[in-house]
Amino acid sequence: MAGVNNGARRQRPNLLITGTPGTGKSTMASALAEASDLRYICIGDLVKEKNLHDGWDNEFNCHIINEDLVCDELEDVMQEGGNIVDYHGCEFFPERWFDRVVVLQTENSVLYDRLTRRGYSGTKLSNNLQCEMYQVLLEEANESYEEEIVTALQSNTIEDISNNVASLKDWISTWRP
Ligand SMILES: Nc1ncnc2c1ncn2[C@@H]1O[C@H](COP(=O)(O)OP(=O)(O)O)[C@@H](O)[C@H]1O
């Protein structure tokens, strides 16, 4: 049945780690995957590897993701459970996939430094900083999932990463179908 939570069928939880680019999704999600023995799935990498896109967007300098192809590709593995998914968006995934949705947040001055180091400038830089300032991803998560499974976590320092990994690892180990 569409929209019904299927958590009872999986033995291990699925987590979505979302947030503006540069907030530390891939750093935190891969560290958590290692610490908890869950599978790390970076949607950006998957789209490139499996060609799950409709070409290249010259304006935003990124692939035009084909959301249907991504969902088809991941359906089996998500039903199985035990996944940590990393993507800077969340509204197109089936709601039933996730037991927890984490939105990483970073102070604007810190994010500015990270994104300029990554080579972002001009519109791409200001769009991403605005996205963070207006908490676009947190709003999207709250609109797309039950509020009780959505958590915003700070990601400004290395210490934040270890704290976030430790608390999510605890949550994973006590999760029951
Ligand atoms: N909490 C943090 N404290 C300090 N540096 C961080 C933190 N999170 C990420 N970084 C650094 O910021 C950069 C962007 O992180 P990354 O994980 O690639 O972000 P995202 O996957 O959200 O785009 C990397 O150089 C990473 O080492």
Q: State in Å: Cα 1 to ligand 1 middle.
A: 38
Q: How confident is the model at residue 59 (pLDDT cuts 50, 70, 90)?
A: confident
* Alpha carbons 103 and 142: distance in angstroms, whole number: 10
Closest CA to 7 of 132, 100, 106: 100
Token reading at 14: 């699925």
Contact 79, 6 (CB under 8 A): yes
- CATH number for position 128: 3.40.50.300
Ligand 1 centroid to 143 CA: how many Å?
25
Tell whether 156 is covered by a domain.
Answer: yes
Ligand 1 pocket at CB < 6 A = 19, 21-27, 114, 155-158, 160-161
Determine, yes or no, domain membership for 1.
no
- Give start and end residues of each alpha helix (H) in 9-157: 25-36, 43-49, 67-80, 108-117, 122-133, 136-144
- Whether the CB-CB separation of 20 and 128 falls below 8 Å is answered with yes
Residue 41 gets which letter from DSSP?
Answer: E
Query: Is residue 124 one of the residues assigned to a domain?
Result: yes
Query: Do 131 and 20 touch, CB atoms closer than 8 A?
Result: yes
Residue found by looking up tokens 């069928």 in the block: 9
Backbone phi and psi for residue 22, each to the nearest 5 degrees, phi listed first: 95, -10
Q: How far is the first Cα of the chain from the last one, in angstroms, to the nearest whole number?
A: 18
> What does the pLDDT look like over 114-173, one tens digit per residue?
999 999 999 999 999 999 999 999 999 999 999 999 999 999 999 999 999 999 999 999
Closest ligand 1 atom number to CA of residue 158 = 3
Instruction: Please check whether residue 122 lies inside any domain of the structure.
Output: yes
Is 4 within a domain?
Answer: no
Domain count, the chain: 1
**Domain annotation covers residue 28:** yes
Q: Global pTM? A: 0.94
Q: What integer pLDDT is reported at residue 166 of this predicted model?
A: 98
**ipTM beyond cut 0.95:** yes
Question: Is the residue at 126 inside a domain?
Answer: yes
The parent domain of residue 85 ranges over 13-174
Torsion (CA) 68, 70, 72, 76 in degrees, nearest 10: -150
Does 6 map to a domain? Answer: no
